[in-house]
Amino acid sequence: MPIARVHRIAASSPDDTTGIEAAIAAGEISPAGILAIFGKTEGNGCVNDFTRGYATQSLTLALARHIGPERAAEVCYVMSGGTEGAMSPHWTVFERVEGDGAAGPALAIGRVHTAALPAEGLGRMMQVDQVAAGVAEAMRQAGIADPGDVHFVQIKCPLLTAQRIGEAKARGATVAVGDTLKSMGLSRGASSLGVAMALGEVKRDALSDEMICRDYAVWSGRASASAGVELTNHEIVVLGRSASWSGPLTIDHAVMADCIDIEPVRAALGRLGLGAPGQLDAAARGRLVALLAKAEASPDGEVRGARHTMLDDSDISSTRHARAYVAGALAGLVGRTSIYVSGGAEHQGPPGGGPVAAIVQR
């Protein structure tokens, strides 16, 4: 019976694989069982954040020494750039092993690499459909039949560059947007609507090219999408609960209504046995294996009626402000800074809010 293991490992730089290597050498991680690695890297999180590709390359090469290049390429490397504020750079390693652990339902993991997405499909229904199909396949791999048992879907999606736009135009195709930075939001939004469709949160006939990143009343409570220049396809990781998995870990999720709405997260932690009226104590922090979250600057320019200036800063992208702000709010709740907060939450939770998932030891 499959057992999920999750390891949180500090990183001193985007190419620092020493912690993972040490865990492998100590027998704490079996490299053959690694399904995915989520990383927080200290880049800017924008189009030209090459720390994501650097980290992916470094991790791939490190694993290839243990399991060969073909197996290493099968791992989903979901690198999220930007560790603003006190967010600590780190890796979250998701591993599957076989054994007889504590009876389920327990944490279950499925992963999929889609085919490359043509540039003209980004931010359109072509991308929505491709992601929805990928999520369905990842659920099948995880042994999750009921969409209600899915608690987080992490997607690494592509973006547009000047070169990719030029290649599309040379084929006689048009792209959804010519601004490469805006293409990140469109890609995240379309990917998230693909999750919503796969999980039954919205029907396909309610979606269209025209509403993507325009009608924010439609959103997923379990999607997390991060765009990057380092890929042209999608890497999809489904996290949920399944009775066909065993082991010590479980998962739950919450949806923040805005960037300071920590009470739903506190409630999810309580459902997982980590209830606390204030910040988690040391024992509870020891059971919290991973905290995964989305963040964005509220598009109406306000937080609970008070004006914010995140959207007016011409020097620093609003996604960077939002990552730091939400990471700080969540760190105050759980008492640690190694939190995976990804910026840009288009169709991921209500406008200005976002989904959060907690993985804990049962």
The set of catalytic residues is 156, 226
Could you tell me which residues are annotated as the binding site for Mg(2+)?
296, 345, 348-350, 353
| Nearest partner of 110 among 77, 60, 144, 80, judged by Cα | 144
Binding-site residue ranges for substrate? 52, 80-81, 188, 226-227, 323, 342-343
The first and second tokens of residue 254, run together, are 């919450």
Task: Please give the backbone phi and psi of residue 219, each rounded to the nearest 5 degrees, phi first.
Answer: -155, 165
**Other CB atoms within 10 A of residue 204 CB:** 14
Query: Residue 57 and residue 21: Cα distance in Å, rounded?
Result: 15
- 198 sits in which H/E element: helix 180-198
Distance of CA 9 to the CA centre of its chain: 17
CA–CA separation, 30 and 253 (whole Å) = 27
Residue 272, φ and ψ in degrees, nearest 5: -90, 5
Look at residue 56 and give its three-state secondary structure: helix
Per-residue buried b or exposed e for 110-141, using 16+ beta carbons within 10 Å of the residue's own CB: bbbbbeebbbbbbbbbbbbbbbbbbbbbbbee
- In what side-by-side order are the strands of the sheet with 340-343? 249-256, 354-361, 288-295, 340-343
Q: State the Cα–Cα distance between residues 148 and 142, nearest whole angstrom.
A: 14
Q: Identity (one letter) of the amino acid at 113?
A: H
CA distance 119 to 115: 12
Integer angstrom CA distances of residue 33 from 111, 154, 181, 224, 312: 12, 19, 35, 23, 45
Structure tokens at 129: 């459909």
Furthest-apart CA pair in the chain: how many Å? 60
Cα separation of 176 and 204, whole Å?
A: 19
